[in-house]
Amino acid sequence: MKFQLQYYALLFLLLFILFIFFFVLRWSNKSILIINQEETFKQISSMELENVDRISSLHESIRRHILSFLSMEDAIKTSVLSKNWRHVCSSLPNLEFHEDSYGIKKSTLGYVDDFKDVVDQILIGHNESHITSFSLYLWMEKQSLSTSHLNSWINFAIRHNVQQLTLVSVFWQIKRISSCLFSYNTLTHMRLVNVHLKLPTTIKLPFLKCLVLSRIEFVNDNLSSMLFSSCCCPVLEQLQLFNCYQNHANTNVFSFSNLKLLKLQNNSKVPVKVLISRLHKFIYVGKEPPNLSTETLSSLSNTCFGLTLPPTNSNNTDPDYFDNSASKILAGLRNVEALNLRDFYLEFLTRDRDLSASLATPCYSLKSLKLCMHDTENQVCAITLLLRSYPNLQDLSISLNQDCTSLNMLNMEEYWQSTLLSTKDILKHLKTFDVELFQVSTNALDIMRYVLASARALEEMRVKVLEPLVNVEKDRMKLSEKLLTFPRASIRSAIYLCD
């Protein structure tokens, strides 16, 4: 009897364990099923979200802003994305067309195959919204576009109140450009390159702030002087002229009331006269020094002068051999902070018999000076006279050119009374001195010795020897040893020989 009771108790315990086991197993399967269902639902939801075109649902103005960061060709490609993007290019505010992007290869629109058709299709599909900028770059060697067709595009941009207009032809010259371009009220920026320009008798650009002209041939020279004055461009702030030609002009006169930046590259021998009282930055490259008014000189804070040819009067018996036009400019710069004298400007300075007197008045505002010199004793003396005129100079850079042909070989010591390399009260604030050499000459060593002995606050002198004239390590070591023997006014100065 006792054995039977134990048997039934064991059987009951076994059944109870089995019941618990099946209950736990069923509950766990149900939980796994719920979890799997949740994961499946999440995957389906994420797939649905991925299929939603969020960009197309953006407001049209936002989509236009996104397209403004793309090139014109890439912006056109977006028109095939969906129905919502089909006409997105019809209201682009910035239109920029490059001829080399079309014509050679099939256009992305499919139904046009050359540059002219692409531009026509874009302009025809454009709505009445304003155009901020319109840029046209013509790269083909042969003229592939008629002037009338080109003018129709310009007139289209003007009708849509364009503010910034760029027209560039790399190889062929654009002729008979639309005259309405120069009597337009909303234009603020204009850039023209390689244009045969016949200006209209009436020029009115009341809101033009920036004008860039390159490789322009002016047909009527008298009207070009009107363009470069406040009467036609009263608010102009930036003017840049590169290789522009005037057939019969006697003098190029620039007269503005609000101009801040003027860049001139004058390859002709037509004299340049500048009458601008508020000019801050002036960059000039030409064959002869320009004529700058006293007001212009005193207003400049940053300027660069590059004279591409040496003085033509190489005979010292010529009464025009001596010239003080270059030194008069420097004497008038009373508020300049950065000055760059390139090419043959120092050579023009050596033609001034009274250079020492011309540079006698110090200019305390100058902080940075860059010079390009040739390897002559006269230019070394001219540099020392220059350095005396700028007592607060902090950064000095000198690049020595090897070519000395056709330069002033007349000894100017009899005219310059102050040619001794005195170091008293000179370069007291100079901190950095950079030198570029094509060859290590006696004149170059004299300049470096003079600066090291004068600059009491000098921190660094960096000497860069350009290849290929000095390309042997032995010569570089000799130069380094030579520099270390020079006396230094500053105990903190370090000399670096750079590659």
**What is the average per-residue pLDDT within 396-423?**
62
346 within some domain: yes
Q: Which domain holds residue 461?
A: 289-499
Q: Token pair for residue 300?
A: 């400049």
| Residues 246 and 333 placed together within one structural domain of the fold | no
| pLDDT tens for each residue of 290-341 | 999 999 999 999 999 999 988 876 545 555 567 789 999 999 999 999 999 9
pLDDT tens track for 228-253: 888 889 999 999 999 988 776 678 88
CB contact at 8 A, 363 and 389: yes
Give the count of domains, the chain: 2
Q: What percent of the chain has pLDDT over 70?
A: 70
How far from 91 is each of 59, 65, 94, 184, 337, CA to CA, in Å? 13, 11, 9, 22, 46
Q: Is the pLDDT of residue 156 over 50?
A: yes
Residue 433 has pLDDT above 90, yes or no: yes
- Asked if residue 303 and residue 401 are part of one domain, the reply reads yes
Instruction: Report if residue 47 sits inside a domain.
Output: no
378 assigned to some structural domain = yes
Under the banding of pLDDT at 50, 70 and 90, the label for residue 268 is confident
Q: CATH number, domain at 329?
A: 3.80.10
- Domain shared by 328 and 381, yes or no: yes
Query: Does residue 458 surpass a pLDDT of 90?
Result: yes
CB 429 within 8 A of CB 459: no
Q: Looking at per-residue confidence, does 444 or 422 come out higher? A: 444
Residues 473 and 362 in one domain: yes
Of 246, 279, 312, which closes a domain?
Answer: 279
User: 318 and 259 in one domain?
Assistant: no
With respect to residue 422, please indicate whether it lies within any of the assigned structural domains: yes
**Per-residue model confidence as pLDDT tens digits over 61-93:** 676 666 666 666 666 666 655 555 655 667 788
Higher pLDDT, 375 or 44: 375
Phi-psi region of 344 (alpha: psi -120 to 50; beta: other; left: phi over 0): alpha
Give the closest residue to 432 by CA, choosing from 470, 401, 398.
398
pLDDT tens for each residue of 459-482: 999 998 876 554 556 677 788 888
Q: What is the pLDDT of residue 112?
A: 38
In a domain, 93, yes or no: no
CA-derived radius of gyration, the chain: 37
330 and 390, same domain (yes or no) = yes
**Rounded to two decimals, what is the model's pTM?**
0.80
Residue 91 within a domain? no
- Among the three residues 279, 311, 340, which one is the final residue of a domain in this structure? 279
The domain boundary residue, chosen from 279, 303, 330: 279
Question: Quick one: pLDDT band at residue 143, thresholds 50, 70, 90?
Answer: confident
Nearest-CA neighbor of 387 among 378, 396, 377? 396
Do 416 and 469 lie in one domain? The reply is yes
The DSSP-derived string for 8-77 is HHHHHHHHHHHHHHHHHHHHHHHHHHHHHHHHHHHHHHHHHHHTS-TTTTS-HHHHHHHHTTS-HHHHHH
CA 216 to chain centre: 20
Higher pLDDT, residue 281 or 27: 281
307 and 185 part of one domain: no
Residues 480 and 333 in one domain: yes
Task: With a cut of 50, say whether residue 450 has pLDDT above it.
Answer: yes
Q: Residues 353, 490: one domain?
A: yes
Q: Do 297 and 258 belong together in one domain? A: no
Average pLDDT for the chain: 80
- The whole-number pLDDT of residue 398 equals 95
Lowest mean pLDDT among 120-124, 213-217, 443-447: 120-124
Whole-angstrom Cα distance, residue 418 to residue 415? Answer: 9
Does residue 208 belong to any structural domain of this protein?
A: yes
pLDDT at 111: 35
In a domain, 94, yes or no: no
Tell whether 361 and 463 lie within a shared domain: yes
Task: Examine the pLDDT at 43 and tell me if it is beyond 60.
Answer: no
